[in-house]
Amino acid sequence: MDSQALTIELDGEQFEAVLDGNLLSSLLSQGADVRYGCRAGACGVCRLYDGSNGESILSCQTAVTSSMSLTRQIPAESSIFSVLAHNSVSDDSIGLALLGPSDESFGDRVSVSFSFKNFPGDLAHFHECMAVNPAGAPLKVVLQKSHFSDEDWLKALSLSPDDRMFVQLSTGVRKGRLLFEMDIADAPVVVISSPENAVFEPYWRDALLDFTSSFLGHYTLFACNDLTLSLADDELIAFLQKALADSDSTSLQLIYHGQKLSAQDWNVLLRPLRIHPNQLYFVR
């Protein structure tokens, strides 16, 4: 190993990184399975956790200064939840309503596990997802097949009311703050989703109508290997042009719900439309 190369351990796999190199770029260049989005530190998709102390790390904003032991798992206490309802959202997605000690609401991140025979603290595998319920309602999440192993997806499909499962809740004081922190009250807003997040359209609509009377629509990017190509789609440009016209010169706010499109990628689309980068919000 080069004298300037350092070892990055990610959930048991080992990778190399050059001193002061970007952590996310180093991992991706070696084929590591790391989710990412804006690559500007705004969306939080690339968040990893220090295996020694549980502190969160935005890998796109981190320079490697020493060897590291990291994990994708959120270090949090697990609670037992009961399944209240289980329904099909699409061919590849299911919705779960869960009863347990939760005050999570739309936009909060939670993680679920189907290792029913394990107790909290065992090596159960947790899957991160987004709460879609309004404040004060039972926790509701949407599970997407693409985020699960075949084994865990079969477990998810077999769930029925009164089944129990482990849930790790978000921590800190920012619960329920996603839309508040965007500062979009009464502003014209559109949501643009990556192809796999199209199923969230009705949840975005319901959540945003509590914040603004000017929700101007939802658009789903077309699926392709290089998602940046979808930003050149004439239909997307026409959608944004109409939203700009309908916003009556008020600053149009955009929410991108997805991954693998950076702030720089978006600027190529938004600059000719005279939409400022600070009008775009990233949600993983």
Domains of the chain plus CATH, in order, are: 5-71 (3.10.20.30), 78-168 (2.40.30.10), 178-283 (3.40.50)
Q: What's the rounded Cα separation, in Å, for the pair 206 and 75? A: 31
Q: What is the pLDDT of residue 104?
A: 87
Q: What's the rounded Cα separation, in Å, for the pair 255 and 181? A: 12
Q: Give the tens place of pLDDT for each residue, 88-100.
A: 999 999 999 999 9
Q: What is the pTM of this model?
A: 0.78
Find out whether 78 and 168 touch, Cβ atoms under 8 Å: yes
Q: What is the pLDDT of residue 121?
A: 43
- Alpha-carbon distances of 85 from 135, 207, 218, rounded to whole Å: 18, 20, 27
Helix intervals (H) in the chain: 23-29, 150-157, 178-182, 201-208, 234-246, 263-270
* Residue bearing tokens 């065992």: 122
Q: What is the pLDDT of residue 30?
A: 87
Beta-sheet strands, E only, within 61-204: 68-71, 78-90, 93-99, 109-113, 127-130, 139-144, 164-168, 189-193
**Token duo for residue 165:** 């499962």
Residues of the chain with pLDDT under 70: 1-3, 74-76, 115-124, 170-176, 249
- Alpha-carbon distances of 174 from 105, 140, 205, 231, 245, rounded to whole Å: 11, 18, 22, 31, 34
* Amino acid sitting at position 14: Q
Q: What's the rounded Cα separation, in Å, for the pair 140 and 85? A: 9
3-state secondary structure of 23: helix
Q: What is the pLDDT of residue 120?
A: 44
Q: What is the pLDDT of residue 11?
A: 84
Q: Give the tens place of pLDDT for each residue, 111-144.
A: 888 765 444 444 467 888 899 999 889 999 999 9
N residues, the chain: 284
Find out whether 31 and 39 touch, Cβ atoms under 8 Å: no
Q: What is the pLDDT of residue 95?
A: 96
C-alpha torsion angle, residues 210, 95, 103, 99 (rounded to 10): 140
Q: What is the pLDDT of residue 249?
A: 64
